[in-house]
Amino acid sequence: MLVEEFIDGPEYSVECVAYDGRIEVVAVTDKLTTGAPHFVEIGHSQPAAISPEAYQTLVATAIAGARALGIDWAGIHAEIRLSSVGPRVMEIAGRFGGGYINSHLVPLSTGIDLPQVAVLLALGEKPDLRVRHNHGAAMRFLTAIPGVVTRISGLNTAHKLPGVCVAEVYVKPDDRVQPLIDGSRRVGHVICDGDNAAVAVARAEIALKTIQIQTTVNFEG
């Protein structure tokens, strides 16, 4: 039996770059999950819709955690919940964030090319972290009712919607969709940009609803 403390409150991630003894924050990300009991991540958006006080708390917590681990010359991805008893670190590591945070959202929202930054850090070179623009970026993962995929529709339409940068489905007819208990069970994603995070999120939600993945229960297993 594994017994762990439950941490309540909304979850965010802080994306940082450490080099030459410095830690610079490049973005704070809103994280959307399925909630209890599995808390599977189904969406991210930048910049996070939080108060200046919450922003400072998240940033200070992430930097303190990274310094405690001695992370340098690396990306930093810190996942933090603002719980009823204060900020709590859920995860922190010397890597850039997954879930298209590194590859798409940060470049879309700030203009900072984090994949290029990762290469420079590996070479021991100081990266250019100047913000080129302040836009909104959002991604949403597609989910489907467990069963066998019978039909996929709306993907081509989603590609043509305003602000849609990426729309992808991972499954095809006759594939089996498993219950959503971890990230490997997600079936696609959309990525959108906008003038701000709210616009990007709204566009991502529209694109998400446009793509329909129909399933039916296969009683033969």
Q: Please, which pLDDT band fits residue 215 given cuts at 50, 70 and 90?
A: very high
Q: Please, which pLDDT band fits residue 55 given cuts at 50, 70 and 90?
A: very high
> Which residue matches tokens 């991540």?
41
Question: How does pLDDT run across 21-41, given as a tens digit for each residue?
Answer: 999 999 999 999 999 899 999
Per residue, what are the HEC states of 161-217? CCCEEEEEECCCCCCEECCCCCHHHCCEEEEEEECCHHHHHHHHHHHHHHCEEEEEC
Asked if residue 37 has a cis previous peptide bond (ω within 30° of 0), the answer is: yes
Is-same-fold flag (11-133; 137-216)?
A: yes
Beta bridge partners of 14: 28, 78
Question: How does pLDDT run across 106-165, given as a tens digit for each residue?
Answer: 999 999 999 999 999 999 999 999 999 999 999 999 999 999 999 999 999 999 999 999
Q: Say whether pLDDT at 221 is over 60.
A: no
pLDDT at 4: 86
Q: Say whether pLDDT at 65 is over 80.
A: yes
Q: Say whether pLDDT at 219 is over 80.
A: no
pLDDT at 205: 98
Residue 49 one-letter amino acid: A
Neighbours of 141 (CB within 10 A): 23
Tell me the CATH number for domain 137-216: 3.30.470.20
Domain 11-133 sits in CATH 3.40.50.1820: no
Mean pLDDT of 39-58: 97
Ordered DSSP codes for 8-63: -S-EEEEEEEEETTEEEEEEEEEEEE--TTT--EEEEEES----HHHHHHHHHHHH
Beta bridge partners of 33: 41
Residue 42 in contact with residue 141, Cβ under 8 Å? yes
Q: Does 221 or 14 have the greater pLDDT score?
A: 14
Mean pLDDT of 163-190: 97
Question: How does pLDDT run across 71-111, given as a tens digit for each residue?
Answer: 999 999 999 999 999 999 999 999 999 999 999 999 999 99
Residue 164 in contact with residue 158, Cβ under 8 Å? yes
Domain chopping of the chain, boundaries: 11-133, 137-216
